[in-house]
Amino acid sequence: MFKIEDERHAESQAGEFTSLVGAAGELRRLALLPWDKLPNVAPCASWATCGRTYEVVEYDDSTRPWRELRRLPALEVDAQGVRWLSVELERLSAQ
């Protein structure tokens, strides 16, 4: 199971995905949205100078509670633009 989280604000984003390709596709969608509109606008009071740092978290969902397997830095979105943090995820998002 894969989830997208905003590492800066400790928020889960965009649901659950059964594959890394699915999560990467959602990251592509987020990358195409404006930085200052939901869901990219940061939830903090200083949102105009902040942003989102998305990562993909892989879980083993066969256990309760789920066991985290790995975190993959993915994407930064802020007033400066969009920066992919993973060549692999950027490549997968285009599939």
Q: What are the pLDDT digits (tens) for 37-79? A: 999 999 988 889 999 999 999 999 999 999 999 999 999 999 9
**CA 81/CA 48 separation, integer angstroms:** 13
pLDDT range class, residue 2, cuts 50, 70, 90: very high
Tens digits of per-residue pLDDT, 10-45?
Answer: 898 878 999 999 999 999 999 999 999 999 999 988
pTM of the model: 0.91
The whole-number pLDDT of residue 94 equals 85
**CA 75/CA 31 separation, integer angstroms:** 8
Number of H helices, E strands in the chain: 2, 5
- Chain centroid to Cα 66, Å, comes to 19
